[in-house]
Chain A
Amino acid sequence: MHADPIAKSAPPPSTADLVRRSLVRKGRWGVAEIGFWAVAAATLFFLPERHLILNEIAIIGLFALSLDLILGYAGIVSLGHAAFFGFGAYTAGILAKHGFADPLLGLGAAALAAALLGFVTSFLVLRGTDLTKLMVTLGVALLLGEIANQASWLTGGADGLQGISMGPVLGLFEFDIFGTTAYAYSLTVSFLLFILARRIVVSPFGLSLRSIRDNPLRARAVGIPVSRRLVAVYTLAAAYAGVAGALLAQTTQFVSLDVLAFHRSADIMLVLVIGGAGYLYGGLLGAIGFKVLQDILSGWTPQYWQFWIGLILVVIVLVGRERLTDKVGALWPRSRTRPAGQAQVLPATPAREV
């Protein structure tokens, strides 16, 4: 039944062993996860004609992962997450336009800039109800959008930021018109940031975030500095979103006001609702689902595809994502916390240490 070969020969495990195994198990990679990333890597070689859309999916996936960190893990609702995405995009774009063509430099700068913005605005969303949070985040994004519109000397305003030319990634890989380098670059960055996020959510810090989401009153009563933790995760998520924005700016070599638009924030929420929040893969699967749906529906009814997206959203929310994803969860045993008996103390499927 269990994968650990040592456990078979050893005497019955003590409670301490079971406790440790049950805790550490969350940090291990399941087969389905490894499979997911293997398939993602394989698309680099087997789907060359799709690299442009795959690049977009990787970026949206990273952006949704960022929202999942605050919404799925810390319970902070946001309707203005595009503020950080757009801020990162403009930071990277403006840098490149002014001669700093190294992609990684732009990425780092975008992450820092977005993190700073996240840190400052986090204090606005700490308190208040969900409605307050929605309005404040929405307001910040609208503000930024208008500033970008007015500061056309810097951002190009409504015409967009043109004349971005990127240098090769690591000085080696030039961006090509098929989007292969772009996709490889976005996928690699998303993967690395995913690994980091995955580490974080199973750490004591990540556990404390989940406790705050579940019951902030009790979290405080066990000595957790709730506000500080929320500031930390909001700042981190902002940096992630900034990197996603920078990837878009760098790989498409163009930034328009669209990156700060309300629909960006709304779409990313939709992506996370499609994929499911709180287990990290929701953003990635949601991004695939969203883009594929958009592709199919807009091919089918170019004018009315949003009608169908809207209908699907309503169905998902009404039927309940829980119920829908529980069915997926059956195929995806490691990714979800489910009601579990004593047997669950033992790993259910083969696992591998990171």
Chain B
Amino acid sequence: MAAALETRGLVKRFGGLVATDNVTFRLEQGARHALIGPNGAGKTTLINLLTGVLAPTSGQIFLDGVDVTQMPPERRVQRGLARTFQINQLFPAMTPLETIGLAVSERMGGGRDWWRVTGSKREIVDEIVEIAQRFRLTDVLDERTSNLAYGKQRLLEIAVAFACRPRVLLLDEPAAGVPEAERHELLATVAALPRDVSVLLIEHDMDLVFSFADRISVLVNGALFAEGTIEEVSTDPRVRAVYLGENVDE
């Protein structure tokens, strides 16, 4: 069975700097996989390569066994690769309803529809409702996004990506900056993501990593440094020295 997402020998150089160093990596179907690494380890570059924002210097990327290395970002999304952003990337002047409706109707090929009113199709409405309930946004659907509480914005951030109905979901520090009071709601929705969505979690917060992931990859200086189950990685002395130890010191 093809991996949900796979890279082979992925390299990205910025001038003399090697930001991604020969990364060969598999995200299995239905995985809960965390990618950790100290600041500057190249996590963001790797995400940008995976989503197609950056083109790799060499190497290949496969989505469900299909080579997507040359595909523009929006085509990868259409093929089932969605991401969230570490810093909210929302549409401040739109409502959550419009935001989710946009992603849903876009996926259903409605973005070329310039005649019908958004929401005149039943299946779009039903799906908006389902997503709003899953991400606990029903109460704020008609608010302006810029007026939402930060925790709700973080939920919307994931909801938009989820509305693309991805098979692979890249979560970039989903709980970053969320106040303690709103944290539980967010973690609960992340934990409740359906199992047929393979998730790659990029995270700093080790509590979240340990509670969510069943596999961990450690990225150091752009290269994969270690990979394994939580047990293996958390007991690996090299990892402790390079990453976990450093984290404790902070």
Q: What residues of chain B lie closer than 8 Å to A26, measured between beta carbons?
A: 117-118
How far does the alpha carbon of A210 sit from the alpha carbon of B98 in the complex, in Å?
10
Partner among B93, B143, B160 whose Cβ is within 8 Å of the Cβ of A214: B93
Per-residue B-contact encoding for A57-69, CB less than 8 Å = 1, 0 else = 0000000000000
How far does the alpha carbon of A224 sit from the alpha carbon of B108 in the complex, in Å?
12
Q: What residues of chain A lie closer than 8 Å to B249, measured between beta carbons?
A: none
Most B CB atoms within 10 A — which of A16, A204, A229? A204
Per-residue A-contact encoding for B60-85, CB less than 8 Å = 1, 0 else = 00000000000011100110001101
Q: What residues of chain B lie closer than 8 Å to A342, measured between beta carbons?
A: 139, 142
Q: Do B106 and A218 touch across chains, with their CB atoms under 8 A apart?
A: no
Q: Do B111 and A215 touch across chains, with their CB atoms under 8 A apart?
A: no
Q: Do B103 and A339 touch across chains, with their CB atoms under 8 A apart?
A: no
How far does the alpha carbon of A19 sit from the alpha carbon of B131 in the complex, in Å?
12
24 A–B pairs (Cβ distance < 8 Å), ordered by A? A16-B125, A19-B97, A19-B128, A19-B132, A23-B117, A23-B120, A24-B117, A203-B118, A204-B105, A204-B111, A214-B91, A219-B91, A221-B51, A221-B82, A222-B103, A222-B106, A223-B107, A224-B74, A226-B74, A229-B111, A337-B94, A337-B95, A339-B143, A340-B95
Q: Do B160 and A218 touch across chains, with their CB atoms under 8 A apart?
A: yes
How far does the alpha carbon of A18 sit from the alpha carbon of B139 in the complex, in Å?
11
Known interface pairs A15-B133, A19-B141, A205-B113. Does A24 touch B120 (Cβ–Cβ under 8 Å)?
A: yes
Q: What residues of chain A lie closer than 8 Å to B118, measured between beta carbons?
A: 23, 26, 202-204, 206-207
Q: What residues of chain A lie closer than 8 Å to B94, measured between beta carbons?
A: 207, 210-211, 214, 337
Number of interface residues of A (CB under 8 A): 42
Residue B129, interface by CB 8 Å: yes
Per-residue A-contact encoding for B12-34, CB less than 8 Å = 1, 0 else = 00000000000000000000000
Q: What is the predominant secondary structure among interface residues of chain B facing chain A?
A: helix
Q: B109 — nearest CB in chain A belongs to which residue?
A: A204
Q: Which residues of A contact B (CB under 8 A)?
A: 15-16, 18-20, 22-24, 26-27, 199-200, 202-208, 210-211, 214-215, 217-226, 229, 337-342, 344-345
Q: A278 — nearest CB in chain B belongs to which residue?
A: B93
Q: What residues of chain B lie closer than 8 Å to A340, measured between beta carbons?
A: 95, 142-144
Q: What residues of chain B lie closer than 8 Å to A337, measured between beta carbons?
A: 93-95, 144
Known interface pairs A20-B125, A24-B119, A218-B91. Does A207 touch B114 (Cβ–Cβ under 8 Å)?
A: no
Q: Do B74 and A223 touch across chains, with their CB atoms under 8 A apart?
A: yes
How far does the alpha carbon of A340 sit from the alpha carbon of B141 in the complex, in Å?
10
Q: Do A215 and B144 touch across chains, with their CB atoms under 8 A apart?
A: no
Q: Do A204 and B73 touch across chains, with their CB atoms under 8 A apart?
A: no
Most B CB atoms within 10 A — which of A19, A24, A210? A19
Most A CB atoms within 10 A — which of B82, B90, B91, B114? B114
Q: Do A207 and B125 touch across chains, with their CB atoms under 8 A apart?
A: no
Partner among B90, B112, B142 whose Cβ is within 8 Å of the Cβ of A218: B90
Most B CB atoms within 10 A — which of A211, A341, A345? A211
Q: What residues of chain B lie closer than 8 Å to A16, measured between beta carbons?
A: 125-126, 129
